Amino acid sequence: MSEKNTAGLKKEKLSLLGVVALIFSFIAAGAFGIEEAIAASGPGVTLAMLVLFPFIWCLPLGEMISELGSLYPTEGGAYSWARESFGEFWGWQVGLWGALTTWLCQAQYVALVVGYASEFFDMSTGMEYAVKIAVVVIFSVINIMGLDWLEKLETVLMVLVLAAFGAVTVVGFMNWNYNPISPIFNPDAGLAGSIGDGIAIIIWMYLGYECMSNMAEEVDDPQLIPKATRISTPIIALSYILPTLAAIAALGSWDAWSTETGGEAVGYVDVLIQYVGNWAGVAFVIIAVLANCSIFSSYIAHGSRAFFVMADDNCFPKFMSKLDKRGIPTISIILLGIFTIITCRFDFVTLVMATTPIQLFLYLALVAAVWKLRDRYPAEERKKMGLTVMIGGRLGLIISPLLVFAISTFAIFSNGLDYFIAGFVMLLGGLIFYIIFKIMYKGQYLDDPELYPLNEKTHLGLGDITAIGSYILATGIIALAGRVFIALYEAEWGAEYYLEEYEEGIFSSFEGMLSICSAIGIVCILLGIIVMFIGKKTEGPKLAELKPRRDQLMDERICEIHGDVPLAGKYRSK
């Protein structure tokens, strides 16, 4: 049995308000970033998505994550849920998706910090990069100080951000001069194009509900996390909708909205500058800088735990799971800071477009995990133990995951054919690196060689062949489904756009990329079926023999956490 460093993590006694503030910082910390959606989609479509998404995206996603986190509040969050639901291979993929998204997201917030700071401070390219490095260093140090310091910081910043956008809302409504929903959509992109252009940013604005669960074992009472999730959802939604509506009504110029500064660019700060004075604008910019620093700081906490847990489970280099004497994963925090310094040179929109699809793959996996775990641990039994379950009963169990599945799938397909194809590179990379790391570090085999034996021929875990086959099959289905959808969705403008955007190469040919999707889909579906057949044929009987003992181990873990196990009757009888 390998020694686990998660047992040495420092426990913190956090308040409900503090956890709400942390979740607020993970997801929102203000409406910064929506500017790009306004210009891309038009004010009407942007406001409609901001109003609609809390009901069809945030609430369902928050309920799913609250249920999973309440049942299994362990370090690693989504990685742990997928691992317990579908085995080490799928858990590793979900952990990788979550970690990559977080590590790349870090640079987005540093870019926004500099973008808002340059509103009043003229900086050269070198000076901008120096400021980015300073932000990374300062907030990495705060995280090294501990989660309790981070909670206090985020609580103060949440109050400041809500006050700043509250001022924008009041001043904007008092100076209503323009129709805030005209035009409904960007006339240059059309209705479908406007939705597609803005949906990635709007989804990104509402991402992050799973982040707090990554640190569940460091919270003295982890059941605060699902409670805080439900409280934070309406706060976040209103902090987006009201100031955006008010600001557009006061300023107009929808096509000039941008996170960049200079020229004719427009943003939330201009409401206060135009109708109150420069001093109010300066105050807002200071809070904007602090807000994006707060998001960056909280994401350091989340991101530093991502690879930490996987390394602790013998799935990544062991040095990434080291703790200092106080129980803080200092090495992971420092590595994340170095990575951010390297990636923060990229622009905001490119980073959002590149990371959003990876996060959406994670949510598709969580949909499956919710349904899988509900079968063994039904809502009725969980409620008896005081655990959080999704609202809506059996209907809610169907509607919430289906909404998350449908929106995630649409967003992946509508994000652009170039990004869609690039996503397969990440999927292939995840498969290759799992095989390499499994052979190198052994994974669950080191925890219990008898329960998680290795295949003597492949040196992978018993069951990995079947899991890899299902992964390849799923990749093929996504490729073919995406090919059909995108061929229709981008038919009118795809060929001209990609040729103009890239001029030459693979991404310049719309038809060529569609052909690549077709080839990937057909090959992966056939290969996936073959690999799954081989896996079930060679490993199926032994896996069936081990399954009851693996399920029992999961029951024992839950019992250790809660003092009881919310098993369904059919499983209790066994």
Higher-confidence position of 109 and 242 = 242
Provide the pLDDT for residue 120: 64
**With 90 as the cut, is the pLDDT of residue 509 above it?**
yes
> Per-residue pLDDT tens for 61-88?
999 999 999 999 988 889 999 999 999 9
> Per-residue pLDDT tens for 407-460?
889 888 887 888 888 888 888 889 999 999 999 999 999 999 999 999 989 999
Q: Shortest CA distance to 225 belongs to which of 21, 10, 5, 6? A: 21
**H-helix or E-strand containing 226?**
helix 224-251
**Phi and psi, residue 219, nearest 5°:** -95, 125
Distance between CA atoms of residues 378 and 371, nearest Å: 10
Provide the pLDDT for residue 368: 94
**Are 109 and 289 within 8 A, CB to CB?**
no
- pLDDT tier at 570 (50, 70, 90 boundaries)? low
Average pLDDT, whole number, for the chain?
Answer: 86
> Per-residue pLDDT tens for 293-318?
777 777 777 777 778 888 889 998 88
Lowest mean pLDDT among 131-140, 169-178, 375-384, 428-437: 131-140
Provide the pLDDT for residue 180: 92
Distance between CA atoms of residues 308 and 76, nearest Å: 8
> What is the residue-wise DSSP string for 257-294?
B-SS-STT-B-THHHHHHHT-HHHHHHHHHHHHHHHHH
> What is the residue-wise DSSP string for 329-371?
-HHHHHHHHHHHHHHTTS-HHHHHHHHHHHHHHHHHHHHHHHH
Per residue in 353-379, is it b (16+ CB within 10 Å) or e — as a string?
bbbbbbbbbbbbbbbebbeebbebbbb
**Are 152 and 22 within 8 A, CB to CB?**
no
**Helices within 87-189 (DSSP H only):** 88-117, 125-145, 147-174
Amino acid at 102: T
Higher-confidence position of 550 and 210 = 550
What is the mean pLDDT of the segment spanning 129-147?
Answer: 80
**With 80 as the cut, is the pLDDT of residue 174 above it?**
yes
- pLDDT tier at 3 (50, 70, 90 boundaries)? low
**With 70 as the cut, is the pLDDT of residue 550 above it?**
yes
What is the mean pLDDT of the segment spanning 226-252?
Answer: 92
> Per-residue pLDDT tens for 398-408?
999 999 999 88
Distance between CA atoms of residues 85 and 467, nearest Å: 12
Token pair, residue 287, equals: 């809070």
**With 90 as the cut, is the pLDDT of residue 12 above it?**
no
**Helices within 43-124 (DSSP H only):** 43-53, 59-71, 78-86, 88-117
Q: Shortest CA distance to 396 belongs to which of 70, 82, 64? A: 64
- pLDDT tier at 354 (50, 70, 90 boundaries)? low
> Per-residue pLDDT tens for 321-330?
887 777 788 8
